[in-house]
Structure 1
Amino acid sequence: MSVMYSDTDVYDVITVLGKGTFGEVAKCWKRGSSHFVAIKIIRNYTFRKGVIKCELKMLRMLGTVNSDKFHIVRFFESFNDDTKLCLVFELLEQSLYEYQRENNFVPLPTKHIRSITKQVLIALQKLKELSIVHTDIKPENIMLVEQAQFPFKVKVIDFGSACILSEIQQIKGPYIQSRFYRSPEILLGLPFCEKLDMWSLGCVIAELHLGWPIYPGTNEYDQIRYIVETQGLPSDHLLEVASKTHHFFKKARQINSTYQWTLKTVDEYQAETMVQPLETRTRSIHSLDQLATINLSKTVFPDKELKAELFDQMTMVSLIKKILTYDPGQRPAPNVALKHPFITMKKLKSKYKHTKYYQASRQALRAALHYDECPNEKEALCCHRLKQSCHFSSESYPQVQRHQEPQVANQQVDTDDLDGTTADDFEKQEAHDMKSFPEEKKNLSSNVWKISHYRSQQNAIKLLGRIADKAKCEIQTLKDFNRQDSVGKHFLKQKDLKLAGLHSGERITER
């Protein structure tokens, strides 16, 4: 086990976490504070002195902000060790990509996608305030902090490609962003700003929902082709001013003797460049609207829980469509996106406030964002999550409902702050800027709501009572037919599982 020395501390190298082109990341023990850290070790850094200097400048700027509040990795210090430059960061758990891979790239539930999206938006808003462009937002650079205790609490990492906006805009045709998440302005050679990070985030949201990258191009032509096949052609205005339009598009003569931009065919591009385009998509998507119906349970008579989930998924897709806009001028900034109904849950609350799906979604957001709670609050939060994940087999559903009502009422006070004021701000700003969301229906008065809520509870109890009576009759029938008590017990177990499924309100496919 090797040892590294900085001016202020001593680090014991425990293991290498990963290796890259220019160095490696090691897990180390920080003797001064007695905790583990991650050290990015850059070898032969003198050859990349300008890039390293820029990264250090970014990290020192970020060192002045609250890393937990703004969901950005905490930077401790830098030091030289022989011919190596060492950057010391807090040790985080694993990236979203690693989490997806461990779970066989199963699509993430919408409620968790919201938690991740909100945190990354908060990070991007802080970066914008500092005039920093990350330029490499992707699942590999979004890290889970402490998944067991704070599910889907994340932080943005890797500022090796980050830069000051005013400096990068001086570069013509910069080669930035990982290809799957590269924005149209970079692909086409258009003027760009910090909103290129928003495009990358939109691709990440879609990927978490699908389980695979939405635009997995092997080269820039394939990348443009996938985007065009899903979202249509960019506007003529953008194609006219873009410097790289002729690489991927051509003007074709129409029947009326006018000329119109069209995407070059696969054969045309291959003949010009001698590069063979490839099909790497898991599934072709011909419209972003298709995202709203993917991964949903199919049933003839959806209940209110499924309707709530479908509504939430449609709201998520509306945010994706706004972010994945060709023109960066029309793309929402992070502060505007934070007021979108998908993030605030205001519309979900107004329509499906009394569903278990809404309660679970609100709890998921609270669990991810409330990271700096006192130990007692953390313990209570974990206990509540444990209760939510269990089935209650020894009590009937109405009894469990009554036992949990006080706890849910308390949480209402705690978490409503997450989706109240900012949602109103978004409604005002959207009405002025984008005008694409329908107006919110007015809430019922308190008296009408109480009556409606009471009736819905009574109807639920009556319905479950009828189910229980029917179950008893079916059990007796099976006993009479088979003359065995075990059959009745087996049937009762199946009914208990169904009732427990009704109580949990969650799809079986969710992790």
Structure 2
Amino acid sequence: MVTQWITEYSHGGMMDNRPRKKPRIVWDDPQTIPHPKVPTPLHCVQQVFNGASMDHTFSSMHYNPRIYRNPSPPWREDSKDGHYVFSIGENLTFRYRILSKIGEGTFGQVLECYDLEKKELVAIKIIRSIKKYREAALIEIEVLQKLAKHDIGGTHCVQIRHWFDYRNHICIVFEKLGPSLYDFLRKNNYCSFPIDLVWELGRQLLESVAFMHELCLIHTDLKPENILFVSPDYFKVPVYKFLPRFSKDFSNFKSIPMFSTIKLIDFGSTTFEHHDHSYVVSTRHYRAPEVILGHGWDYACDIWSIGCILVELCSGEALFQTHENLEHLAMMERVLGPLPHNMVNRSDWRAEKYFRHMRLDWPQGASSMESIRAVWKLPRLQNLIMQHVDHSGGDLIDLLQGLLRYDPAQRLKARQALQHPFFTRNPNRCGYSPHLL
């Protein structure tokens, strides 16, 4: 920005003919050129969403930031937590028009934006203006660029377009994907997915994680919220088609994705195998036992999370719905059997309090009767799966037992799991076909 001084005559008052000096601002940065009278193309963008053609004044325009001066909003103070403050319809730099807020987390916010240059929808992750989150974002960008370099065709992970630093916020631009697995579960009132779709989602998930592990990367935060369908399209199917024969319900419908292609997102916690590992990783419900017991962790923590996700897709609910370590371990023993003594022996000083005489201090150490009831209502893994799966139940149970082994050294690897009979035994199964449901 350059400030020049010009002479103007005032109008009004007692000294009408007296000249005065007034600063004139010359904007040399196209991102900050104020031009409030330029009409917004937001209505044109909305027409595109509704399937209509774009307004001719917008569609025929060749994008040039110095000609089409679409200003950035005035500088605002960040929120007290360091989040970027925005309004729907305004610009994020001259290039991106903010359309909606997709989500928010500890890292910052994700916004749906329209790229005025490429004329496409994108998702932009705006990192909080706090040093530790900015540093983590730079590591995430490094991971994303490595994934993009090796993920030819972008079949496994969300693709990064580019990134920039805007008003002390690191902004990462991604391709726009569809809803997450969790969004579908919630939309269906946490009703399970059909087994053919679970088969297809599990296969893709294991292939994506195997791809990451071969690049010496550990995701560490696999959960349904971080697995997105590529397409947002879906259709309605009667619920009775997914219930056992003795439990027919002809009144309700549930949403089924039209296409089953998925991609992994959120690599903010992803760790290179050779980097230092933090003490705790993974969202609580999907956290492996070796993390809780303080043994350290490696690639196997991702495999445990996949096992928990597959159970959730089959049942509709998270397998371990808990918020404290002792209750979490008690739930594991209830569903999978007792923890092995060698793992209990190796527990660090933080986890020793959960055991007494080499046995889990449960229910004596429970925080409440509600906690005890939450554990006792859980069925064994075999019973839980057979409640929701009519066919392929035996193979699926065996697969899950391999993914959810307590000892990470004995847990299945991603490539080994893809060779399991659940994926290979039925030669006629060729993938998810929603029209056959």
What TM-score does the superposition give when structure 1 sets the normalisation length? 0.60
How far residue 68 of structure 1 moved from its aligned partner, in angstroms, is: 4.9
Letter in 2 for 1:293: M
Preserved contact between residue 133 and residue 162 of structure 1 (Cα < 8 Å): yes
1:19 matched to 2:104? The reply is yes
Summarize deviations over 1:296-324 as a string: whole Å, max 9, x none. 5xxxxxxxxxxxx42x1221111111000
Counterpart mapping for 1:128-143 below 5 A: 128-143=213-228
Aligned residues: 325
Counterpart mapping for 1:25-424 below 5 A: 25-66=110-151, 68=153, 70-148=155-233, 151-169=259-277, 171=278, 174-243=279-348, 244-251=350-357, 261-270=358-367, 278=371, 281=374, 284-296=377-389, 309-310=390-391, 312-344=392-424, 347-349=425-427, 361-364=429-432, 386=435, 388=436
Q: Give identity over the alignment, percent.
A: 26
How far residue 277 of structure 1 moved from its aligned partner, in angstroms, is: 6.8
Could you say which residue in structure 2 is the equivalent of 1:476?
Answer: none
How far residue 175 of structure 1 moved from its aligned partner, in angstroms, is: 1.8
Separation in structure 2 between the aligned mates of residue 32 and residue 143 of structure 1, nearest angstrom? 25
Separation in structure 2 between the aligned mates of residue 284 and residue 267 of structure 1, nearest angstrom? 17
Bigger strand share: 2
Separation in structure 2 between the aligned mates of residue 280 and residue 54 of structure 1, nearest angstrom? 42
How far residue 31 of structure 1 moved from its aligned partner, in angstroms, is: 2.4
Summarize deviations over 1:434-479 as a string: whole Å, max 9, x none. xxxxxxxxxxxxxxxxxxxxxxxxxxxxxxxxxxxxxxxxxxxxxx
Bigger helix share: 1
How far residue 16 of structure 1 moved from its aligned partner, in angstroms, is: 1.5
- Structure 2 unpaired stretches of 5+: 1-88, 235-257
Separation in structure 2 between the aligned mates of residue 143 and residue 283 of structure 1, nearest angstrom? 33
Cα distance, 1:331–1:178 mapped onto 2, change above 3 Å: same
Cα distance, 1:101–1:292 mapped onto 2, change above 3 Å: closer
State the SS of the aligned residue for 1:329.
Answer: coil
How far residue 236 of structure 1 moved from its aligned partner, in angstroms, is: 1.2
How far residue 192 of structure 1 moved from its aligned partner, in angstroms, is: 1.9
How far residue 288 of structure 1 moved from its aligned partner, in angstroms, is: 1.7
Separation in structure 2 between the aligned mates of residue 105 and residue 154 of structure 1, nearest angstrom? 19
Letter in 2 for 1:249: F
How far residue 191 of structure 1 moved from its aligned partner, in angstroms, is: 3.2
Cα distance, 1:161–1:67 mapped onto 2, change above 3 Å: farther
State the SS of the aligned residue for 1:217.
Answer: coil
Summarize deviations over 1:104-156 as a string: whole Å, max 9, x none. 11111111011111111111111111111111100110111115385221111
State the SS of the aligned residue for 2:320.
Answer: coil
Cα distance, 1:30–1:282 mapped onto 2, change above 3 Å: farther
Letter in 2 for 1:151: F
Preserved contact between residue 96 and residue 140 of structure 1 (Cα < 8 Å): yes
State the SS of the aligned residue for 2:213.
Answer: helix
Letter in 2 for 1:65: H
